[in-house]
Amino acid sequence: MKTIHHARPRLAVAALAFFLGSMLAAGDAHGQASPRPQGLGAGTAQPVTPFRIFDNLYYVGLDFVCAYVIETSEGLILIDTLFGDFAGHTADAMEQLGLDPLDVEYIIVTHGHNDHYGGLKTMQELTGARVMMAEADWALMEETIRRNGEEDALGVPRDMVTEDGGTLTLGDTTINLYVTPGHTDGVTSMEFSVFEDGEEFEVFMWPGPTLNSNDAPALENFVATIRRLQDLARPDVWLHSHPWSVSFFDKYERLAARSDGDPNPYVNPGEAPVFLAQRLEDAERRLADAR
């Protein structure tokens, strides 16, 4: 076990006020999906102080988009890599947490949008890690990079292809991987265990809970994914790849303020079913309109 600094992490003051305001307004602590807070986007993104969520799970992302580190007995797994000026932020964040970025063995990119892969080249070259993405989103990323003429800045050689129903094992940790189309064709969802004081909790991460299109085929994929997740995902801990939709920083505030023996606020088994039911109702309504 590596040494972790015990100073209580704090969000940047502006981000904190912003999130508290937006989360109180949204009032979605019980799992209802909340919209992106007004004014928050890639262009306004700010780092937040990295923090430990569970014994083996850390947050190394921004206020706008998530990045996580899973610590295993044989090294680290980085989930998503941020973008632009923040391409090296996950490495800085790991160092602040007492983790060595050179211990990253795998980078899983959840899907082929720039805010998740923009830091991939930087992080892959720094760590030498293997990179995993679903086939469709390798293609989406490569096409986007080519179209934008960003091959030199962002291009990485295609590496491991995430298979639906596959697993990734590193040391004592196994991640179950699912390809869950909708937001993109190759959104990779993940299931793994986290621990706190010897207690085990199941995490399910769905990095594609929103849809960018009202086209019937995209909506059909999205509806099928939601129905599948309703069977598959009954986690203790429900995570996405953007923080607002799971009240991520509201939970963080409660985590930072809790007393010894209080439960971890990220543990909320009721959250995923409510969220998925709401998303299904919304998507089916949009699908009916589209037909």
When the beta carbons of 113 and 251 are compared against Zn ion, the nearer one is 113
Q: Which of the stretches 32-40, 105-113, 142-150, 195-203 binds Zn ion when contact is defined by CB under 5 A?
A: 105-113
When the beta carbons of 36 and 254 are compared against Zn ion, the nearer one is 36
Q: Minimum CB separation from Zn ion for residue 73, in Å? A: 32
When the beta carbons of 22 and 114 are compared against Zn ion, the nearer one is 114
Cα gap 219→212, rounded to integer Å: 10
Q: Based on C-alpha coordinates, what's the Rg of the chain?
A: 18
Of 43-102, which residues contact Zn ion (CB under 5 A)?
none
As beta bridge partners, residue 237 has 203
Q: Minimum CB separation from Zn ion for residue 48, in Å? A: 19
In Å, how far from its chain's centre is CA 52?
A: 14
Cα gap 286→220, rounded to integer Å: 10
Q: Which of the stretches 37-45, 49-57, 106-114, 174-182 binds Zn ion when contact is defined by CB under 5 A?
A: 106-114
When the beta carbons of 52 and 113 are compared against Zn ion, the nearer one is 113
Q: Which of the stretches 30-38, 102-110, 111-119, 261-269 binds Zn ion when contact is defined by CB under 5 A?
A: 111-119
User: Looking at beta carbons, which residue is closest to Zn ion?
Assistant: 113
Q: Minimum CB separation from Zn ion for residue 212, in Å? A: 8
When the beta carbons of 211 and 237 are compared against Zn ion, the nearer one is 211
- DSSP letters for 175-222: EEEEE--SSSTTPEEEEEEEEETTEEEEEEE-S----S---HHHHHHH
Q: Minimum CB separation from Zn ion for residue 113, in Å? A: 3
Using CB under 5 A as the binding criterion, the count of chain residues that bind Zn ion stands at: 1
For residues 154 and 131, the answer to whether their CB atoms sit within 8 Å is: no
When the beta carbons of 64 and 252 are compared against Zn ion, the nearer one is 64
Cα gap 156→289, rounded to integer Å: 40
Structure tokens given for 163: 């298979």
Q: Which of the stretches 98-106, 108-116, 186-194, 249-257 binds Zn ion when contact is defined by CB under 5 A?
A: 108-116
Residue 113 near Zn ion by CB under 5 A: yes
Q: Minimum CB separation from Zn ion for residue 72, in Å? A: 26
Q: Which of the stretches 56-64, 77-85, 109-117, 250-258 binds Zn ion when contact is defined by CB under 5 A?
A: 109-117
When the beta carbons of 51 and 68 are compared against Zn ion, the nearer one is 68
Tell me the one-letter amino acid at 137: D
Size of the chain in residues: 291
Phi, psi dihedrals of residue 193, rounded to the nearest 5°: -100, 145
Instruction: Look at the block and give the residue holding tokens 């953007």.
Output: 242
Tell me the one-letter amino acid at 212: N
When the beta carbons of 173 and 241 are compared against Zn ion, the nearer one is 241
Q: Minimum CB separation from Zn ion for residue 8, in Å? A: 31
Give helix 120-127 / helix 89-96 axis angle, nearest 10°.
50
Go through 232-254 and write b for each residue having 16 or more CB atoms within 10 A of its CB, e for each that does not.
bbebbbbbbbbbbbbbbbbbbbb
Structure tokens given for 73: 């007995």
Q: Minimum CB separation from Zn ion for residue 92, in Å? A: 23
Q: Minimum CB separation from Zn ion for residue 231, in Å? A: 24
Give me the residues that bind Zn ion (CB under 5 A), please.
113
